[in-house]
Amino acid sequence: MTQRGMTQTGPTTNRSWRKKFANSLRGVKRGVRGEGSFFVHFFCAISVVAAGFVLGLSLPQWGLVLVCITMVLSAEMFNTALERLGAIIDEKPNPRLGEVLDIASAAVLITAVGAAAVGALVFLSRLSEMLTS
């Protein structure tokens, strides 16, 4: 049995760009559906974007903020993919698999903490600019 986009020997390479994007968007939908962690990160991202508009971030500040948001949401999607793969590999509790999933979760945490630190620097800098002008 082959999965969508796969052949017996590996991924198909002759798919159109339209089909590739459709598969990617389906992956986003599946990755987001039922994932509480993703919704928390997404809500935080929306809040940060709203605050950015209110404070009038500069173009470089927006760049930093958007890169951080993208990194956190991407890390969460990778973590979700690994969790689902782990459930396929072994339905019973498996300490070694648990270690792998803990590491993936730690990657999300590190990314989120780093993004929060960058966000704090960007927003504190912007507030400082506003108060001194």
Give whole-number Cα distances, 28 to 16, 18, 43, 73, in Å: 19, 15, 16, 10
* Domain encompassing residue 45: 17-132
Q: Is residue 75 part of a domain?
A: yes
pLDDT recorded at residue 36? 82
CATH number, domain containing residue 70: 1.10.287.3610
pLDDT recorded at residue 28? 86
Q: Is residue 49 part of a domain?
A: yes
Q: Is residue 10 part of a domain?
A: no
Q: Is residue 46 part of a domain?
A: yes
Query: How many folded domains does the chain comprise?
Result: 1
pLDDT recorded at residue 115? 98
Q: Is residue 2 part of a domain?
A: no
Q: Which two tokens stand for residue 64?
A: 């930093």
User: Taking the alpha carbons of 117, 118, 119, 124 in that order, is the dihedral positive or negative?
Assistant: positive
Q: Is residue 42 part of a domain?
A: yes
- pTM for this entry: 0.82
Rounded-to-integer distance, Cα 41 and Cα 44, Å: 5
Q: Is residue 97 part of a domain?
A: yes
DSSP class per residue in 40-83 = HHHHHHHHHHHHHHHHT--HHHHHHHHHHHHHHHHHHHHHHHHH
Q: Is residue 3 part of a domain?
A: no
pLDDT recorded at residue 123? 98
Tens of each residue's pLDDT in the chain, 133 residues: 445 555 444 566 678 999 999 999 998 888 788 778 888 998 999 999 999 999 999 999 999 999 999 999 999 999 999 999 999 998 888 999 999 999 999 999 999 999 999 999 999 999 999 999 8
Rounded-to-integer distance, Cα 56 and Cα 65, Å: 13
